[in-house]
Chain A
Amino acid sequence: MTATGQARRPLIVADSMTAGYELERERKLLTALEDVSLTVHEGEFLVLVGPSGCGKTTFVNVIAGLVKPWAGTVTFNGKPIDGPGEDRSMVFQDYAIMPWRTVEQNIQLPFELRPHDFSKADVAAKVQSIIEDVGLVGFEKSFPYELSGGMRQRVGLARAMVTQPKVLLADEPFGAVDAMTREVLQAQLEALVMNAGQTVVFITHSIDEAIALGDRIAVISNRPGKVREIVEVDMDRPRLAEGEITSHPRYGELREHLWNLVKDEALGAKDAHREDSEMSGESRLDRLATSPATTVDPRI
């Protein structure tokens, strides 16, 4: 985590990838990302910043294996991504934890869904240990509806980290969390990831969050999304363990540079709300539970 990405092995490689999704009601295909080439190196913390609706979520969904690219390739460890895999896990914007499961049971879910060699006791120990790491001790038997938003996302984070995956994908995980909780969660995430040496692809709206967390920051331009520039964050870790990151000498420069990049895009975002409402999955009565998450078929 300390290095800035020099001489690192490429882990996820997107090569002139185009992807999008279908607007079912209007029977239209919407290109979210066009001709994107981006490399995520092993062990790096890559943050994607861009205006809402620019296709960041689609990019992460492609890596997660939930969405298939329409054109171009995305490889993981040299192999094309074909569906989800145990080496990649994800934290969701709307938490996506099961309301009928307790905290413990939610965190245990990945072990139930994929075959593994751990004994019951081993699984329980792993679950307990990650519960301690994210600060959920005492809430093991609580149901999500009894928790605050921040607590719920801790469950989401714990569930994603409990299997120690190679890659952690995070889709605006702290977007709906209040500012104070967000800082705590950011610090916890940094500590967790530094410990495990994970590769992280992290989406955010917030430039401050991007600088606080990222080794590199990819600025995505407005729809259809393209990588506009990649900014290296040359600040040592841990950044969030103590003190104010905003007082770091590089902080102001980076922030200004990024803001200038994002500003034009944000101001130019006309139908920015579109992707958010389409992708959040809320109130989608017409979507089949069994259909692939993507429901994207470029041949239609």
Chain B
Amino acid sequence: MAQTVNPQKPGSEKNTDGAALTAQPRIQDANWTLARIWTRYRFVIVTVINLTIFFIIWQLVAHFELIGPHLIFPTFSDTFRALKIGWLGGQAGDGTSFELLRDFVIAKNAWESLQRYAISMFIAIGMGIPIGLAMGGFKWVDAILSPYVWTLSSIPRLAIYAPLVMIMGIGESIKYALIILTAIFPVIINTWAGVKTTEQSLINAAKVFGAGRGQIYKKVVLPYTLPFVVSGIQLSLSRGLIGVVIVEFLTGASTLGGLGWLIFRSASAFNSALTYASLMSLAVFALILVQGTRSIEAKVAPWRQVSKT
């Protein structure tokens, strides 16, 4: 690590040239020791070993029914089979106990949830950002909206479900409403905070160099707020995922209720393999989502990444 060359520092070029002529073997040596491979890939190695052990223990615990019968806690191999059938199809017609587990059942329900999720998130983010900007920027908008925003963002969203059902009934619209309500507040509050905390000295500088109100917004407040918005979106995405699962559980359906519905439905039918297969699908999706947005955050505002460390 010591001889890593930083290309951004002009002064270091000379040193590297000089070192490269004389010290080549040493560099090669350092590159291929076991210790180096370990430091580089230890995270991957540890994760692989870790997960392998996890699945083995799972299999053993389930096989010997330490937690409960297979109806309650499936083996890893059964779960894997459910995953395969649920996503890729090709099931042998296995009658009664697996009535829920049909070809592509997870894929179909996941697609159902994904559509619902994507539309809701689109609306939540699309509304949340302007609301947050307006609240941060205009005192009177803040004064009017903040009691509602803070109240709604504080109470558990599940509690709103009852009055919402009275108003909207149990249909598709209430699902969107509840997901949006679950997801919108982190965007609003983060955007608001970004606007509010914009450094006064940056605003002063813009003023000195001639910025009017509009320009201060465009050239200072908005770029300053952008990383806040991104982390707000990140929070919202995971909140929205909770919303989707809860809403699908609450509203129910007879056939195609989404991934959340499938998890609860299969559990109540004691098809534990399908429950765990659906759960794992959800977990993988959530993981990809969170990691994806994290990398976006780093790209949008590299200066914040650096100042954090």
- Shortest Cβ distance from residue B20 to the other chain A in the assembled complex, whole angstroms: 22
Q: Report if B163 contacts A (CB, 8 A).
A: no
Cβ of B140 to closest chain A Cβ, rounded Å: 11
Q: CB of B216 within 8 A of chain A? A: yes
**Residues of B near any A CB (own CB < 8 A):** 8, 10, 136-139, 195-211, 213, 215-217, 219-221, 223-224, 226, 301-303, 306-307
Q: Are A159 and B139 in contact (CB under 8 A)?
A: no
A103 to B213, CA, bound (A): 24
Query: What would 17 A/B residue contacts be, using CB atoms closer than 8 Å?
Result: A84-B209, A89-B208, A96-B205, A98-B202, A98-B220, A99-B303, A109-B209, A112-B219, A113-B209, A142-B8, A143-B302, A281-B199, A281-B200, A288-B139, A289-B216, A293-B204, A293-B207
Q: Does residue A92 face the partner (Cβ distance < 8 Å to B)?
A: yes
Contact B303 A94 (CB under 8 A): no
Q: Are A84 and B210 in contact (CB under 8 A)?
A: yes
A2 at the interface (CB under 8 A from B): no
Given contacts A100-B301, A113-B215, A145-B306, contact A293 B209 (CB under 8 A): no
Contacts of A7 in B (CB 8 A): none
Alpha-carbon distance A144/B195, docked complex (angstroms): 21
Q: How far is the CB of A132 from chain B (nearest CB, A)?
A: 16
A290 near B209: Cβ-Cβ < 8 Å = no
- Is B195 a contact partner of A289 (Cβ separation < 8 A)? yes
* B199 cross-chain contacts in A, Cβ below 8 A: 96, 281-282
CA A92 to CA B208, docked complex, whole Å: 11
Q: Report whether A281 and B137 are in contact in the complex, using a CB–CB cutoff of 8 Å.
A: no
Q: How far is the CB of A183 from chain B (nearest CB, A)?
A: 20
Tell whether, in the assembled complex, residue A113 and residue B204 are in contact, meaning their CB atoms are under 8 Å apart.
no
- In the assembled complex, A146 has its CB within 8 A of some CB on chain B: yes
Considering only CB atoms, which chain B residue lies closest to A286 in the complex?
B196
CA distance A88 to B199 in the complex (A): 22
Taken together as a complex, chains A and B put the C-alpha atoms of A224 and B211 apart, in Å, by 31
Are B202 and A96 in contact (CB-based, < 8 A)? Answer: yes
Query: Is A138 in the interface zone, CB < 8 Å from B?
Result: yes
Residue of A whose beta carbon sits closest to that of B136: A289
Contact among A86, A88, A159, A281 with B201 in the assembled complex (CB-CB below 8 Å): A281
The CA-CA distance from A88 to B301 in the complex, in Å, is: 31
Q: Within the assembled complex, what's the spacing in Å between the Cα atoms of A282 and B199?
A: 7
Do the beta carbons of B210 and A100 come within 8 Å of each other? Answer: no
The 8 Å CB contact of A66, one of B208, B217, B307, is B208
Q: Are B205 and A92 in contact (CB under 8 A)?
A: yes
| 8 A Cβ contacts from A47-87 to B | 61, 64-66, 84, 86
Given contacts A114-B210, A290-B139, A293-B203, 7 further A-B contacts (CB under 8 A): A61-B204, A84-B210, A96-B199, A100-B226, A288-B196, A289-B198, A293-B200
Interface SS of B by simple majority: helix
Question: Which residues does chain B contribute within 8 Å of A290, judged by CB atoms?
Answer: 137-139, 213, 216-217, 221
Interchain CB contact under 8 A, B221 and A96:
no
Report the minimum CB–CB distance from A251 to chain B (whole Å).
Answer: 33
A284 beta carbon closer than 8 Å to chain B: yes
A97 vs B8: C-alpha distance when bound (angstroms): 20
| CB-CB nearest 6 A-B residue pairs | A281-B200, A114-B210, A96-B205, A113-B210, A99-B303, A96-B201
Interface contact A145-B196, CB-CB below 8 Å: no
Q: Is A110 an interface residue (CB 8 A)?
A: yes
Are A89 and B209 within 8 A (Cβ)? yes
Q: A293-B204, A293-B207 are in contact. Are A145 and B303 (CB under 8 A)?
A: yes
Q: Is the CB of A100 within 8 A of B139?
A: no
Give chain B residues whose Cβ lies under 8 Å from the Cβ of A286.
196
Closest to B193 in A: A285
Asked if A287 lies at the interface with its beta carbon under 8 angstroms from chain B, I say yes
In the complex, the answer to whether B204 meets A146 with C-beta atoms within 8 Å is no
Say yes or no: A86 contacts B210, CB within 8 Å.
yes
CA distance A49 to B152 in the complex (A): 53
Q: Once the chains bind, are A113 and B303 in contact (CB under 8 Å)?
A: no
**Are A114 and B209 neighbours in the complex by a CB distance under 8 Å?**
yes
A3 to B301 Cα, complex, angstroms: 49
| Cα–Cα distance between A99 and B300 once the two chains are bound (Å) | 12
Known contacts: A100-B223, A113-B210. The answer to whether A92 contacts B204 by CB under 8 A is yes
CB-nearest residue of chain B to A85: B210
A181 at the interface (CB under 8 A from B): no
Known: A98-B220, A287-B200, A293-B200. A90 touches B195 (CB 8 A): no
A94 to B220, CA, bound (A): 16
Query: Once the chains bind, are B208 and A90 in contact (CB under 8 Å)?
Result: yes
- Quote the shortest CB–CB distance from B300 to chain A (angstroms): 9
